[in-house]
A and B are shown apart, each in its own frame.
Chain A
Amino acid sequence: MLSAAKAAGAGQGATAVLAALLEARTGQQIAQDRAWRLDTALKPLLRERGMESLDQLVRELLLGQDHQLGDRIVDALLNQESSFFRDAPTFDLLGEALGEITAGRRARIWSAGCSTGQEPLSLAMLLAERGADAFEILATDVSEGALARAKAGRFTQFEIQRGLPIRRMMRWFDADGADWVAKPELMRYVSFRRINMVADQQPPGRFDLVMCRNLLMYLAADQRQAVLGRIAAALRPGGLLVLGAGETVIGQTNAFAPSPRWRGLYEAAERAGGRAAA
């Protein structure tokens, strides 16, 4: 593990310690030229703890009295942006593909890096509306903060309006004060668990579909490759991987190849290769 002390020894002070903490916990690197982001991202936490500076924050972190501080810092540094039906056309494709590959048996889906829950809930709405009931979605993230919000199924007015058609909001959410809360009949399709894609070696089961969108882009190339290898091992035969709109496996790994059947989705490589050769 990249120790905070080692990074501090590199002589860049607080910034280096924080960057090392983030990398050790999540595999994410902060480029030197983006270090300014630390300041902005951590300002609310500093204010909450009544601290003056990043130096003070790092001192507290290294003293190790406050066991939640590391988690809170990592949460603040992660990009957790998400929205309902992000890359909307992808969702229709997923509905179709799942229908075909599971052919009536229970579908298992993994939303890896689910953030605050919009991704798994979008898929759950879509599948339920297509008349499917035999499916379950495991939604995981490294961030306890994001997971807690996802588990609550609670969204602000701004969040609920981003990407979610009004009829779906009416069908699947209840108003609660200024927020909107997913109904139990939607939440029941999804279970939540903390999984660190970089550190946790054992996949949480075998899946027909893995959604890993807008997460790999933050990882270094070797980690990205390792994560993709583990995802490939977590697929059932015929299983598919979907990435974010700007992401690809091409040039990143040998574990996956573009699906010849489903444009924009990926299959484990032996499978795609075998089919191409057949």
Chain B
Amino acid sequence: MMLSVKGLRANVGENEILKGLDLEVGPGEIHAIMGPNGSGKSTFSHVLSGREGYEVTAGSVTFEGQDLLALEPEERAHLGLFLAFQYPVELPGVNNTYFLKAALNSIRKSRGESELDAVSFLRLIKEKLKILHLNDSLLKRAVNAGFSGGEKKRNEIFQMALLEPKLAILDETDSGLDIDALRVVADGVNALRSPERSMIVVTHYQRLLDYIEPDRVHVLAKGRIIRSGGKELALELEEKGYGWILEQEQAA
């Protein structure tokens, strides 16, 4: 297994948000997590990537056999975990190129690889920019500062393309994108599909899954995965809404 989540419970302050979550993701698989607003999708993404402010009270998360929860956020990134933020953070004054270089070289260094020199680095990012249909001028700007919503989301996928993670979590990367931008993002994601790279695609809508075809679809509600199935589950949800599945859950 690449990622194995067992009985994960997590609190924010007094409130329990994740209430016994189970999930297994194998190498090369794409899993979609769908669920109503407030069901805990972002909380789950944050707990996986090590954000402060969440208290894990039970359960375990292993990533390629390692206890993920014992690691600092940067150590998780070094192992190959990547989170595309639902709300990418603006960093005024922090130059995008410098940021990308620091990130890539930090990860390379952690793996005992040499740092990329300026020329190879520039060649690499120009190549990745093209995939995301992003303009060079983005490199001169501060990270996400003053970016449009769509630019921010594309910048997330651009970073993913550059850092080449083993497991990428895309937290509602589709929300707020028009259909053209959605296609560009999906193309970017699909270009990165490989037998070694897994993805968790968190989304509120079925729309994105027309472009990124998942191996498994999970429904997250009230802090637990209440239903899993193939891609047809997404279509069923689209048609019937979440109410239907929640009712079934309650009846059970």
Are A and B subunits of one complex?
no
| A binding-site residues for B, Cβ under 8 Å | none
